[in-house]
Chain A
């Protein structure tokens, strides 16, 4: 009897050890994936700081400019839509080649009135589209609007953006290169100094564009078309099947379809445009949840094709895969934490000193690659003092991580159609500009609107 009990205990012990071994190797795999992303961050930052920069189209300023249609999808944007229309009208793109199409999708505020007012004043330039039926959401609005446009080039802005006078020319210039299918410009927060969150988002945006996107451009990898402050060639769009309406991030999806279709996507770091970033954490969480859900959808849709090698060279394919997987890193990191906790409780030990060094190295050097990228980007931007906020980004990462993990389940529920929530709908980020400046828009019988300063 005693021997039997001892045997059972030994078997239990052996099973536990086997389980811990499995956990250990899973943890090693997770760390290996994270190390790949760490190296990627580092290479991008070094390239952006010290490498040769590619700005092949930045000097194109005199040309016979092609016909351009600017699409501005809008849903309840009365606070900001007038600002972007004013900014576009003040731009230096030849008016005879320019058509501005504000696409009002089921707005219930004064968006329609503001747009119609502008259209009545600039009938040859502004051709509004008011959607009251059909599929809802930005992608559906873009799809319908694109079908009715005649311009060779389509430029897209979200309604809260404020383009500078020369921006349209800068965004159109790359299309003189016949290989270019899409162009992306740089997004710069307009309200960066509002609070800690906006300052942190400014740092993140800075890293994403100044370093990530520009390094990919430099290294001929995969600059990403981001759905706003960017454009697409009509023929390229048509050749890959137009905008998809069943995706949460039509921009990522289009980037990959264009690349797989043999088109080039380019990034213009000089083409800066202001946007509003979220000023409240819940708004930020909703934003990142949508991005991650859409990005992971693109991962499922396109990773197979990328792996099959329908791309230009190994490096571009690898970067395309890593870019598709960026939002998988959050759940992987969480898994890593769970595995580490399990191993720790289980008393699993690997050859002492080496393991200690490995863990310590990854915790420091590994984490630092991302912070190096952020700090380098802020320095390039001349925002040195803002770099002192770096440690707060740890908290930001924690929130983002939780939001990304949660979005994976939310998205699944949406896809299944429970709760009566459709897969794709308007998932707008809250606007602040009107509130900040005390602007109220009121309409009267002649569709004029007035601004009241508080």
Chain B
């Protein structure tokens, strides 16, 4: 009862403990609330899998024409998901193996990107490293399609549907992720829900558009582009979005004064 008085300042203000000893208060109610929000969100997501798949399919049907996929949209069922009728769409089109021209043009662009990365000024060094990484991954694709093009194990429909399923798996992990790293933080319940909705909403719109773009690029630039898209532009942007939104959420002010536990 006396503990709060130790930190009562002038005019009833709160004296915060020094940052070196500050902690965050976590009560049983907070833990239960975190679990509750996570469970409710997960259950809602799980029961909505079928609807999400149908919404994505609708999006793909709308996009097929403008993107030039004239053969329409197919649907791949995931029978291993037993608790929901989960199916994801894909464009009914086969991407070609790279022609000799495409191969040489890609090689030239890759070399240019790699060389250009050395011309960036020091303050842009991380981007230079990123460009070099992109060039190296593309080099691996160039080598593969030079040596054994017919052994490339993926086609466009399989790639698109698999990556949509991976994206869905990322979406499903969001409530668990937030329960472990955000719901336990001292921000209000409304803000916890807001961040959850922001993350899920963003991903649910971003992921189908992302892989529609992948399909469009692979369709026009051949399978030669698929390894690069898979390695650096699939999960990585999704995780980056999550981290950016998470950073935003973690920047929100605490809903109550900081504690001191010694």
- Is B227 in contact with chain A by the CB < 8 A criterion? yes
A272 at the interface (CB under 8 A from B): yes
How far does the alpha carbon of A123 sit from the alpha carbon of B30 in the complex, in Å? 60
Q: Return the contact of A360 from the options B24, B123, B184, B235 (Cβ within 8 A).
A: B235
Q: Of A282, A347, A359, which one neighbours B122 at CB under 8 angstroms?
A: A282
CB–CB A281/B125 < 8 A? yes
Write the chain A residue with the least CB distance to B18. A270
Number of interface residues of A (CB under 8 A): 67
The interface centre, meaning the residue of B125, B140, B165, B252 with most chain A CB atoms within 10 A of its CB, is B125
On whether A50 and B262 interact (CB within 8 A), knowing A365-B173, A387-B251, the answer reads no
A363 touches B133 (CB 8 A): no
Closest B residue to A369 by beta carbon equals B181
Whether a CB of chain B sits under 8 angstroms from the CB of A419 is no
Question: Does B10 make an interface contact (CB < 8 A)?
Answer: no
CB–CB B165/A345 < 8 A: no
Taking the complex as formed, is B137 at the interface, i.e. its CB lies under 8 A from any CB of chain A?
yes
Nearest CB in chain B: distance from A20 CB, A: 11
- What's the least CB distance linking A383 to chain B, in Å? 9
A356 and B253 within 8 A (CB): no
At the interface, is chain A mostly helix, strand, loop or mixed? helix
User: Which B residues touch A363, using CB under 8 A?
Assistant: 170, 235, 239
Interface contact tally, CB-CB below 8 A: 174
Decide yes or no whether B22 CB sits under 8 A from chain A. yes
**Nearest Cβ on chain B to A347's Cβ, whole angstroms:** 3
Nearest to A56 among chain B residues (CB) is: B262
Within 179-193 of B, Cβ neighbours of A (below 8 Å) are at: 180-181, 184-185
CA of A145 to CA of B262, assembled, Å? 38
How many B residues face the partner with a CB closer than 8 A? 61
Contact A53 B140 (CB under 8 A): no
A64 at the interface (CB under 8 A from B): no
Q: Decide: A186 near B20, CB < 8 A? Known: A281-B122, A341-B231.
A: yes
Give the CA-CA distance A49 to B240 in the complex, in Å.
24
Cβ-neighbour of B227 out of A197, A345, A379 (below 8 A): A345
Question: Could you tell me the distance between the alpha carbons of A93 and B235 in the complex, rounded to whole angstroms?
Answer: 55
In the complex, the answer to whether B173 meets A361 with C-beta atoms within 8 Å is yes
Is residue B29 within 8 Å, beta carbon to beta carbon, of the partner chain?
no
**A385–B251 CA distance with the chains assembled, in angstroms:** 5
Residues 232-257 of B, flagged 1 when their CB comes within 8 A of A and 0 if not, give: 00010001101110111011111000
Q: Is the C-beta of A420 less than 8 angstroms from some C-beta in chain B?
A: no
A25 at interface by CB-CB < 8 Å = no
- Cβ of B1 within 8 Å of any chain A Cβ, yes or no, is no
Give the interface segment out of A112-120, A395-403, A444-452.
Answer: A395-403
Known A-B contacts A344-B227, A364-B173, A375-B246; the reply to A380 vs B240 at CB < 8 A is no
- Give bound CA distance, A282 to B185, whole Å: 36
Whether B123 contacts A375 by the Cβ 8 Å rule is: no
Q: Is the CB of B26 within 8 A of A398?
A: no
With A363-B235, A391-B247, A402-B129 given, name 20 new contacts (CB 8 A).
A52-B261, A197-B123, A270-B18, A281-B122, A285-B125, A341-B231, A357-B169, A360-B169, A361-B169, A361-B173, A363-B170, A371-B243, A375-B247, A379-B185, A380-B258, A384-B251, A387-B247, A388-B248, A391-B240, A391-B243
List 13 A–B pairs whose Cβ atoms lie within 8 Å, in order of A's numbering.
Answer: A46-B184, A50-B23, A53-B260, A197-B123, A270-B21, A353-B80, A357-B173, A364-B173, A367-B239, A380-B24, A387-B250, A389-B247, A395-B126
User: Chain B: residues with CB nearer than 8 A to chain A?
Assistant: 18-26, 78, 80-81, 122-123, 125-127, 129-130, 133, 137, 140, 144, 152-154, 162, 165-166, 169-170, 172-174, 176-177, 180-181, 184-185, 227, 230-231, 235, 239-240, 242-244, 246-248, 250-254, 258, 260-262
CB-based closest 3 A-B pairs: A347-B153, A390-B247, A395-B126
Residues of A bordering B, CB below 8 Å = 42, 46, 48-55, 58, 186, 195, 197, 210, 214, 269-270, 272, 280-282, 285, 337, 340-341, 344-347, 352-353, 356-357, 359-361, 363-365, 367-369, 371-372, 375-376, 378-382, 384-391, 393-396, 398-399, 402
